[in-house]
Chain A
Amino acid sequence: MFAIYKRELTGYFTSTLGYIFMAVFLALSGAIVWFSTFFSATTSFGNYFFIMIFFFIILIPILTMRLLSEERRTKTEQILLTAPVSLFNIIFAKFLAALTLFETTFLISLLNLIPVSRYGTVNTAEVISNFIGVSCIAMSLIAIGLFISSLTESQFIAAIGSIAVILGILLVGVFSSSITNDFVRVFVKWFSILDRFVNFRYGIFDISSIVYYISISAIFIFLTVRVYEKRRWA
């Protein structure tokens, strides 16, 4: 499993996709930090992290679009599927590789906070809980992107599909509060990936939401494994 993880991670940098992801992520986060703190005359990072989530609509598909689709197109998946490694390990290694690149870049982007800290006190607890919350959202979206990548041979279709799905998920979160039927609103809010983030945004460490995000990721990794099993039995 480690072999696949390592190959996938180095693969990001031999294919330039990794550089593109890091460059876009860091450039965007730099712009957002300027907009959400200096421009708004605040040292609270609540908005910074919240706005960043919306750029995941483009950023996460860059990470996940080719994870499985490309191997299917070039038939290199045959070497993985005929190797003495379980399906789950193959899928999970790829998931971990994408998550590793995301977290590394996200950690680097925290350098953005240093200039702001010179002009006021930064609420460390708020930053930590936001960091964890955003990481959890990214983890869930990577699992969803990975699943979409397993459905097609074309990385382009995988990218478009992931953009559409992530956009849909975030829009549900944005508009969930305007649902008038109480039951439906509570239900949608409970399931909404974005609504779950609210507590983290205000610096509250919310265990139940972390469990929720891990569950979402697990479900989509499981579904991806099922896609491969189904193809084997087809």
Chain B
Amino acid sequence: MIEIIGVTKVFGNKTAVDNLTFTVADGEIMGFLGPNGAGKSTTMNILTGYLSATSGKAIINGTDVFEDPKKAKENIGFLPEQPPLYQDMTVLEYLKFVYELRGATLPRKAHLDEICEMTGIGGVKNRVIKNLSKGYRQRVGIAQALVGDPKVLIFDEPTVGLDPNQIVEIRALIKKLGKKHTVILSTHILSEVQAVCNRILIINKGKIVADSPTGDLLKNTAGALKYRAVLATRDMKDALRLVSSVDGVVSVVPDEKSEEGMSAVILESDPSVDVRPGLFRTLASKDVPLVGLENVSLTLEDIFARLTLSGEVK
């Protein structure tokens, strides 16, 4: 469980994080999004005790990070943006070092073997870190965060530099970890958030601009489902009238990009009703062929751009 209460961080005269408040429950995987410079890394650094906040509180499993840093840090596994790897150690030496550093108590060999297996670095465990590829280094970074089995895991862009197969593996791993741990996952890859997280928090200029379950964010922010329908008729008025008569259609507007001899319309529908079968039947009964139908609802990318570019607060 992570609680951030009114955290503000000021660097000189720049406010990096502005009165941020949120909680992440046990077993939740929270996607932490925002454009570069929005304050994501600063927030994570405050959570892990690397930076201190100008004001506000960060509480990890009931322990205040600033009041009892030692106890709070025992509960956090952190993968920073740049994995903190000692280049001249072997993977196993490094993990043993982290094990001792964190004062872990689980049986060492079994614990480290399990972590190596989970992150897929068993095959390179006796190699020197500086000779590893970027993908392996990133995985050693993830492995490092798991040492001591901390309850809270904070990953800053964990899949950077991995190949597509590894990305799938690591996402599956994070999803699995999310069942028993509290996870914050910061990333720029929006499909990753959709694939892994059950909640999304978007910040911009140090403030929260969206916070909701992954599915809901799409629904709420997009408002309604949107389709682009192409009808084989030259009569746009007729097309609009026909489409608007379908059950569940909320609004219809002409699309300027119609082909010659076709009428293209953008229709919005009530999210609770699937209008597509009705649309087909209505048009078929009037002998107006439906030659194209595509979903043009907002994607996470659109929502992200809309929230962070305009800066509007939901």
Contacts and interface: CB of A to CB of B under 8 A. Distances in A.
Interface in B40-70: 48-52, 69-70
B22 interface: no
B102 A84 contact: yes
B84 A76 contact: yes
Contacts of A3: 97, 100-101
A78 B145 CA distance: 12
B97 A7 contact: yes
A83 B86 contact: no
Interface in A82-126: 82-86
Interface residues of A, number: 24
A78 B50 contact: yes
- The winner among B71, B74, B103 for most chain A CB atoms within 10 A is B103
Given A3-B101, A75-B82, A232-B50, A84 B70 contact: yes
Interface string B80-104: 1010111111000000011011110
Interface residues of B, number: 28
A165 interface: no
A4 B85 contact: no
B97 A82 contact: no
B144 interface: yes
Q: Taking chain A's interface residues, is the majority helix, strand, or loop, or is none over half, making it mixed? A: helix
B84 A75 contact: yes
Given A7-B86, A78-B80, A84 B74 contact: yes
Contacts of B11: 234
A77 B78 CA distance: 13
B73 interface: yes
A76 B85 contact: yes
A132 B69 CA distance: 38
A2 interface: yes
A147 to B, nearest CB: 21
Interface in A31-75: 74-75
Contacts of A81: 49-50
B70 A82 contact: no
A16 to B, nearest CB: 10
Contacts of B76: 82
Given A82-B48, A86-B69, 11 more contacts: A3-B100, A7-B89, A7-B97, A15-B88, A74-B84, A76-B86, A79-B144, A81-B50, A85-B70, A232-B52, A234-B11
A-B residue pairs, 9 tightest by C-beta: A3-B100, A79-B84, A84-B73, A82-B48, A3-B101, A84-B74, A76-B84, A78-B84, A14-B88
23 contacts: A2-B100, A3-B97, A3-B100, A4-B101, A7-B89, A7-B97, A14-B89, A74-B87, A75-B84, A76-B84, A78-B82, A78-B84, A79-B144, A82-B48, A82-B50, A82-B78, A83-B98, A84-B70, A84-B71, A84-B102, A85-B101, A86-B70, A233-B52
